[in-house]
A and B are shown apart, each in its own frame.
Chain A
Amino acid sequence: MNRIDQRFSELKQQGRRALIPFITAGDPAPRYTVGFMHALVEAGADVIELGVPFSDPMADGPVIQKACERALAAGTRLVDLLDMVAEFRRTDSATPVVLMGYLNPIERIGYEAFARRAAEVGVDGVLTVDMPPEEADELAPLLKANGVAAIFLVAPTTSRQRAAAICAQGDGYLYYVSLKGVTGSATLNAEDVAEHLAPLRELTDLPLCVGFGIRDGATAAEVARVADGVIAGSALVNRIADNATTPEAVPGALKAVLGDMRRAMDAATAPDLADAPR
Chain B
Amino acid sequence: MPDARGRFGPYGGRFVSETLSFALEDLEEIYASLRDDPAFQAEFDHDLTHYVGRPSPLYHAERWSNALGGAQIWLKREDLNHTGAHKVNNTIGQALLAKKSGKPRVIAETGAGQHGVATATVAARLGLECDVYMGATDVERQKLNVYRMRLLGARVIPVESGTRTLKDAMNEALRDWVTNVDDTFYIIGTVAGPHPYPLLVRDFNAVVGREARRQSLEQIGRLPDALVACVGGGSNALGLFYPFVEDEGVAMYGVEAGGDGVATGRHAAPLSSGAPRGVLHGNRTYLMSDDAGQVADTHSISAGLDYPGVGPEHALWKDVGRVNYVAANDDAVLEAFRELTHMEGIMPALESAHALAQAKVMAPTMRPDQHIVVNLSGRGDKDIMTVAKLDGIEF
Contact = CB atoms under 8 A, between A and B. Distances in A.
B178 interface: yes
Interface string B1-38: 00001000000011111111111010000000000000
B349 interface: no
A69 B21 CA distance: 27
B17 A153 contact: yes
A25 interface: no
Interface centre among A105, A153, A166 (most CB of B within 10 A): A105
Contact of B292 (A105, A130, A132, A177): A105
A152 B292 CA distance: 23
A56 B162 contact: yes
B107 to A, nearest CB: 14
Interface stretch (A106-114, A116-124, A140-148, A241-249): A106-114
Nearest to B279: A103
Given A58-B171, A58-B174, A65-B161, A158 B21 contact: yes
A72 B296 CA distance: 12
Interface residues of B, number: 39
B17 A129 contact: yes
A157 B22 contact: yes
Interface centre among B13, B15, B295 (most CB of A within 10 A): B15
B293 A108 contact: yes
Contact of B19 (A56, A105, A109, A157): A157
A65 B181 CA distance: 21
B289 interface: yes
A185 B292 contact: no
A128 to B, nearest CB: 9
Given A103-B279, A105-B292, A177-B18, A135 B175 contact: no
Interface string B269-290: 0000000111111100001010
B17 A155 contact: yes
B167 A56 contact: yes
A107 B15 CA distance: 13
B247 interface: no
B291 interface: yes
Interface in A147-194: 152-159, 162, 166, 177, 180-182, 185
Contacts of A57: 171
Interface string B149-185: 0000000000001100001100100110011111000
Contact of B280 (A56, A79, A129, A166): A56
B264 interface: no
Contacts of A107: 277-279, 293
Nearest to A103: B279
Contacts of A182: 175, 178-179
Interface string A45-64: 00000000011111101100
A56 B178 contact: no
Contacts of A162: 21-22
A77 interface: yes
Given A56-B295, A59-B178, A130-B15, A108 B276 contact: yes
A157 B184 CA distance: 14
A106 B293 CA distance: 7
Given A56-B162, A56-B295, A104 B23 contact: no
A166 B17 CA distance: 13
A154 B18 CA distance: 6
Contact of A109 (B5, B161, B289, B293): B293
Nearest to B289: A104
Contacts of B279: 102-104, 107, 130
A61 B175 CA distance: 8
B175 A58 contact: yes
A235 interface: no
A57 B161 CA distance: 11
A11 interface: no
A185 B19 CA distance: 14
A177 B18 CA distance: 9
A257 to B, nearest CB: 25
Nearest to A65: B161
Nearest to B182: A180
Contact of B295 (A77, A78, A104): A104
Given A130-B15, A135-B14, A180-B182, A159 B22 contact: yes
A223 to B, nearest CB: 18
Given A131-B15, A135-B13, A158-B22, A104 B278 contact: yes
Given A65-B161, A182-B179, A152 B18 contact: yes
Interface string B294-321: 1100000000000000000000000000
Nearest to A154: B18
Interface centre among B19, B168, B278 (most CB of A within 10 A): B19
B5 A134 contact: yes
Interface centre among B13, B18, B276 (most CB of A within 10 A): B18
Contact of B294 (A72, A106, A129, A132): A72
Contacts of B19: 59, 153, 155-157, 177, 180-181
Interface in A19-58: 54-58
Contacts of A159: 22, 25
B18 A158 contact: yes
A59 B175 CA distance: 6
Given A58-B17, A155-B18, A182-B179, 5 more contacts: A56-B281, A58-B175, A104-B289, A107-B278, A130-B17
Interface of A: 54-59, 61-62, 65, 69, 72, 77-79, 102-109, 129-132, 134-135, 152-159, 162, 166, 177, 180-182, 185
13 contacts: A58-B171, A107-B277, A130-B17, A130-B282, A132-B14, A134-B5, A135-B5, A154-B18, A155-B18, A155-B22, A158-B21, A180-B179, A181-B175
List 7 A-B pairs, minimum CB-CB distance, nearest first.
Answer: A105-B293, A108-B293, A155-B19, A77-B292, A153-B18, A181-B179, A59-B17
